[in-house]
Amino acid sequence: MALQGWRFFGVSATIIIYIGGVLFLSMNNIPGSHPKRPRIERFAEFPSFHSPRFPMPSRKMTIRWCRDLKYIIEIFQSTRTTRPTSTVSTALPSDVSAALQSLPALTALASFPGSGNTWLRYLLQQSTGILTGSIYKDYGLLKTGFPAENVCNSSVLLVKTHEWGSKAWAPFSKAILLVRDPEKAIIAEFNRQSGGHIGFASPDRYKRTKGKYWQQFVSNKLKGWEVMNLSWARNFTGSIKVVFYDDLVHHTERELRSILEFLQFPVSEPLMRCAIMRKEGIFRRKKTPAVLRSVHGVDEGGGAEPEADSLRIVGAPGAVGFPNALL
């Protein structure tokens, strides 16, 4: 009996020592077992804006706008004094709704996901002081600079959409079609789905199911990119202006002026200067880290095809009529 007791004690002590050792090693290896990831500064332009209103993750951040954002209706209706906030209601007062009939026709900002739609909305809000709307209600955008999410009427400068087809076109009499190289647009959308509007997908996401998940994603999205852009370019019956993302990046002021001319919205020189000074904002994703470029093979130093060439690559006849027929 004594021998059995000592054996039981020995086994118990061994188990306790083993468990204690594992816990001890785990606690000591947590900080150093993985190399520390370099911190990516995603809000470099606004390093001091840590407002308690927007989480990041325990702090929050707002955007410094060139002037307070307003609805178009507020310009024409001096009697309305309440400025929209991040909790703005999509329902407008009856007197405001009646006045919408005298406002400009509704304009769509159409694009395939990942084409820079949010960044263009940011630039337009900076250069006009007017809110932009969306057919969607993205709570992340709602809290960080786009209080008119889910507003789809002429009280906003234009309305974001990724849809196409007769039902999608019905509310709009004009459209701006933002086109980006499909390779970069698809990667940007993959990053958005995995890392948010300004984050990045991890290398593991690309390698999921031995890369088959990424390959299928590209195949599906490439077809969607082609159908979406061709549908708007060829079948939308209203006035349409095509804007290439690369032109917006390299000639921002020129493109903004051209867009405002298309919208028949007067250019404010002070606001335009301010918008260009703050053009990077927080909604334009920084360059893809080198480790990710090696995964999906993107050369952001100029190795990508121009948009017109990429349209041909997808199989559209010519350049799908974009450069000559619509620009």
Bridge partners (DSSP) of residue 235 are none
Residue 139 has pLDDT above 70, yes or no: yes
Fold topology of 39-326: Rossmann fold (3.40.50)
Q: Which whole number is the average pLDDT over 262-283?
A: 90
User: Per mean pLDDT, which range of 127-136, 218-227, 252-261, 301-310 is the poorest?
Assistant: 301-310
Q: What is the pLDDT of residues 232-246, one digit of tens each?
A: 999 999 999 999 999
Tokens standing for residue 248: 């917006």
pLDDT number for residue 19 = 58
Domain ranges of the chain: 39-326
pLDDT number for residue 144 = 84
319 exposure class (CB count in 10 Å sphere: 0-12, 13-18, 19+): middle
DSSP string, 49-80: --BTTS-SSSSB-----SS--B-HHHHH-TT-
Q: Which whole number is the average pLDDT over 31-35?
A: 40
Q: Which whole number is the average pLDDT over 51-66?
A: 54
With cut-offs at 50, 70 and 90, classify the pLDDT of residue 2: low
Bridge partners (DSSP) of residue 243 are 178
Q: What percent of the chain has pLDDT over 90?
A: 39
Least Cα distance to 327 among 231, 233, 227 occurs for 233
Report the chain's mean pLDDT, rounded to a whole number. Answer: 70
Q: What is the pLDDT of residues 80-105, one digit of tens each?
A: 444 444 334 444 445 445 545 556 68
- The span from the CA of 206 to the CA of 119, in Å, is 25
Cβ distance 242 to 177 under 8 Å?
A: yes
Which pTM does this prediction carry? 0.62
Of 32-36, 174-178, 197-201, 224-228, where does the model show the most confidence?
Answer: 174-178
pLDDT number for residue 206 = 53
pLDDT number for residue 89 = 41
Cβ distance 247 to 255 under 8 Å?
A: yes
Bridge partners (DSSP) of residue 70 are 130
pLDDT number for residue 176 = 98
